Structure 1
């Protein structure tokens, strides 16, 4: 969003996935799950890096069939330097994309898992409502990372958006049931 805001000539299209923002939505609902936020702040304050990783993966991969994804993500994250892991959880003022949304003037597909336990899907609805012509695609029954938990559906929607500019699924396989 920052790049497109500053240099729209460099960006042809945007696809977002479960994009968070800072603060609350206009309806007063928090963007991040308040339980997650409280647990994250506590673990961060105590320097409990492995706990942060377990917490993150539990909320990111929340669907029943994502145990293996959760395990792989935890292992991968644990191999990073501790400074890198801690910096991921530092508050990032650059996440305040709300003021930029109305300046975005490229075709945009905003995607989100409808059952995301980390970031409310209302955040993506807000983002899509503020970008002229943006389309919103919600993955039913999916959490924060539908590109991993609903890979076929995600790829089909992405391919269709890139080819046609429309956010729809052209292949109706098992994930669409």
Structure 2
């Protein structure tokens, strides 16, 4: 499904109804807006596991502007703030109020921008394998994820060096999927990553834009205490991309936050420990409640 919003087409898909039947009445369910990472990916890799929550909430999967099935506006319009504006506009288009916004990885960057610009818009945030900054964070004495260099093959390290230095081409992205991406998971789960990412499309232009123009200046550390809604912060013990210390920083500085660390997961904790992930999210959603039906 598509909505024409803010000068481009935004793709979204919905899993689950907005109401459940309780006795002799319809009872509204909360809405969860799901924002993918990358940037440059689409929502598909999140669908198998986030879709399991459709019994307790209406799940709205979004392809952010310039990515997936959404339109390709000028990349200068593809900012974190504009993507947050698009989410708010989409909710207005769909008649959704007080959604819970789930952001994975860089999708969490968008979710944080949304919560800061529209303080009372959301019912809550779920920040999954995300970070308040792309700058290095000081050691806080807590759990440290094993670095990529301690786990990866020479080929994977060489590919990662090219990608993270900003060399974003069809060749390096292909190498990312085959050589680097499996290491985003915990060692026991590496063989499950290719099948998950096979669901995705990758937009090289957006990936390059993210690496060169968005990521270098991303830093909301000084503003986290402005977030007024409840936040659930989730991180995998083996996540070296958005490491545990980043999530601890989020949880320490967002006033109404709860931190859960998944001991057997990396960056894809929703897939790696799906049952525990769903249980934790269900509990959090249950504390938020739902807006009154119109």
CA distance in 2, matches of 1:46, 1:8: 35
Query: Which of residues 61, 68, 71 in structure 1 aligns to 2:185?
Result: 61
Aligned length: 163
Q: Determine whether 1:23 maps to 2:143.
A: no
> What displacement does 1:15 show?
0.8
Q: Structure 1: state its 5+ residue gaps.
A: 166-177
For 2:241, the equivalent position in structure 1 comes to: 118
Runs of 4+ in 1 over 6 A off after TM superposition: 28-31
1:49 maps to which residue? 173
DSSP 3-state at the match of 1:10: coil
Moved more, 107-116 or 36-45: 36-45
Q: State the distance in 2 between where 1:37 and 1:9 align.
A: 43
CA distance in 1, matches of 2:254, 2:267: 21
Corresponding residue number in structure 1 for 2:54? none
Give CA deviations for 1:34-73 in whole Å, capped at 9, x if unaligned: 7599853523427322123335512322332341333331
The 2-side partners of 1:13 and 1:142 are apart by 24
The answer (yes or no) to whether the contact 2:177–2:194 under 8 Å persists in 1 is no
Q: Quickly say closer, same or farther: Cα 1:87–1:59, change in 2 above 3 A.
A: farther
Greater strand content = 2
The structure that is helix-richer by fraction is 1
**Structure 1 stretch displaced more, 129-138 or 50-59:** 50-59
Task: Pick closer, same or farther for the CA change 1:97–1:156 going to 2, 3 Å.
Answer: same
Secondary structure of 1:111's counterpart equals: strand
Q: What SS is found at the alignment partner of 2:261?
A: strand
Distance in 2, matches of 1:26 and 1:65, equals 28
Larger relative CO (CA 8 A, sep 6+): 1 or 2? 1
Superposed displacement of residue 147, structure 1: 0.7
Name the TM-score, length of structure 1 as normaliser.
0.75
Query: How large is the Cα RMSD of the aligned pairs?
Result: 3.1
The answer to whether residue 190 in structure 2 is matched with residue 71 in structure 1 is: no
Match of 1:169 in 2: none
For the residue of structure 2 that corresponds to 1:15, the secondary structure is strand
Deviation at 1:96, TM superposition (A): 1.6
Please tell me whether Structure 1 or Structure 2 has the larger radius of gyration of its CA atoms: 2
Q: TM-score, normalised by structure 2?
A: 0.48
Q: 55-64 vs 114-123, which deviates more? A: 55-64
Match status 1:96 vs 2:219: yes
In structure 1, the partner of 2:261 is: 138
